[in-house]
Amino acid sequence: MTNHVLALFNERLPHKPYYSDDLQFGVRIAAKDRAILAKYIQFNQPHAQFWLGFDVDRKGAALDWSDRNAPAPTFTIMNPKNGHAHLLYGLETAIRTAPDGRIKPLKYAAAVENALRKKLDADVGYSGLICQNPNHEHWQVNAWQTELYTLDWLADSLDLTAANDKGIITDYGLGRNCQLFEQTRKWAYRAIRQGWPVYEQWLQACFERTKAYNLQFFTPLDEKELFGIAKSVAKWTHAKFTKSSFDDYVIRTHSSDIQSIRGALGGRKSKGGGRKCNKFSERSIKPWIHLNISRSTYYRMKNEGKI
């Protein structure tokens, strides 16, 4: 069974994974054939997570998952010197972590991952980027589960109520991907309207913004993952958000809002005794907020006769 699981592990490796023979000297990137010889290796692909990995830093970690009524790991990779281990759970269907994937399944996966981490009492500071390479003779490898898991199967033995707490899941594992996706996406929808930059400039802006958001995490994502998130957000928004299409969208979607604002402005001016009452001016009412556009876009469209 161990050979079968090991073959599956190797098949699912990235084409150019991170690897290291000594973590004190950091990690490098190489082709799979080279990286597979190292003591440590990146075990999930950049945008497809086939494994839920956990770092359990206590003696007996490769066995006490059973005492905690946790589901059996697909396999464990134990350090024979101290009994600490990495526990990997193989998934039947990979979790798509790219920002153009659906956010609801990603949040569900993050909740399952965090609940399982709590049940295992695994290290909350584990980045999940690399694991002890089961191909290396230094580690002791044991296989426990032949069938690959679905998220629902794992969830059956977990308490997802606590795991869904927003303050918990956003700083661990997949929760960080969810958080970065949400923050970068929401920023991008507004920021791109400020100047409609060329793609290269826009990609760099998204990358810098994603890196800034990443600083909030106790264990940040690495730059390779960040660039993947930034590139997906930049590519999608640059293709979907253009100056001409946005103007058409605003006119089509908010035509009733525009009429309401015009009426409100006119009515309030009259009720307030004309234009002398500044508290009912456009500057005070801020109609661009109701239209979900920037102030400059509002006045530009107004000057062009579109509002």
Query: Is 83 in the same domain as 226?
Result: no
Residue 247: the pLDDT is 59
- Of 169, 186, 208, which residue constitutes the final position of a domain? 169
Which pLDDT band holds residue 275 (cuts at 50, 70, 90)?
very low
Residue 289: the pLDDT is 67
Query: Is 146 in the same domain as 51?
Result: yes
Give the pLDDT confidence of 160-219 residue by residue, as tens digits.
875 554 434 556 677 787 788 888 988 998 898 888 899 999 999 999 999 998 888 877
Among 105-109, 175-179, 278-282, the range scoring the smallest mean pLDDT is: 278-282
Query: Is 262 in the same domain as 149?
Result: no
Query: Is 157 in the same domain as 47?
Result: yes
Query: Is 58 in the same domain as 133?
Result: yes
Query: Is 190 in the same domain as 104?
Result: no
Query: Could you tell me how far CA 196 lies from the centroid of its own chain?
Result: 25
Residue 178: the pLDDT is 77
* Number of domains making up the chain: 3
Check which CATH number belongs to the domain holding 185 and give it.
1.10.340.50
Q: Which domain holds residue 130?
A: 2-169
Query: Is 152 in the same domain as 280?
Result: no
Average pLDDT over residues 264-273: 52
Give the pLDDT confidence of 32-64 residue by residue, as tens digits.
999 999 999 999 988 889 999 999 999 999 999
Residue closest to 89 by CA, chosen among 153, 27, 15:
153
Residue 79: the pLDDT is 96
User: Residues with Cβ < 8 Å from 178, sequence gap 6 or more?
Assistant: 103, 106, 107, 110, 169, 170
CA distances from 106 to 103, 178, 200, 216 (A): 5, 7, 28, 20
Query: Is 229 in the same domain as 120?
Result: no
Query: Is 264 in the same domain as 165?
Result: no
- Of 190, 220, 241, which residue constitutes the final position of a domain? 241
Q: Which residue has the higher pLDDT, 286 or 155?
A: 155
With b for 16 or more beta-carbon neighbours within 10 A and e for fewer, the 43-64 pattern comes to bbbbbbbbbbbbbbeeeebbeb
Residue 93: the pLDDT is 93
Q: Which residue has the higher pLDDT, 273 or 301?
A: 301
Query: Is 19 in the same domain as 98?
Result: yes
Average pLDDT over residues 141-163: 88
Q: Which residue shows structure tokens 């609801």?
A: 104
Residue 177: the pLDDT is 78
Q: Take residue 128 and report the two structure tokens written for it.
A: 């999940």
CB 184 within 8 A of CB 237: no
Burial of 246 (0-12, 13-18, 19+ CB in 10 A): middle
Query: Is 66 in the same domain as 214?
Result: no
Which pLDDT band holds residue 307 (cuts at 50, 70, 90)?
low
- Of 134, 169, 204, which residue constitutes the final position of a domain? 169
Radius of gyration of the chain (CA): 25
Model pTM? 0.64
pLDDT averaged over the chain? 82
Residue 166: the pLDDT is 46
Which pLDDT band holds residue 259 (cuts at 50, 70, 90)?
low
Q: Take residue 114 and report the two structure tokens written for it.
A: 């965090």
Helix (H) or strand (E) holding 109: helix 103-120
Query: Is 48 in the same domain as 92?
Result: yes
| SS3 assignment, position 65 | coil
Which pLDDT band holds residue 73 (cuts at 50, 70, 90)?
very high
Residue 268: the pLDDT is 52
| SS3 assignment, position 97 | coil
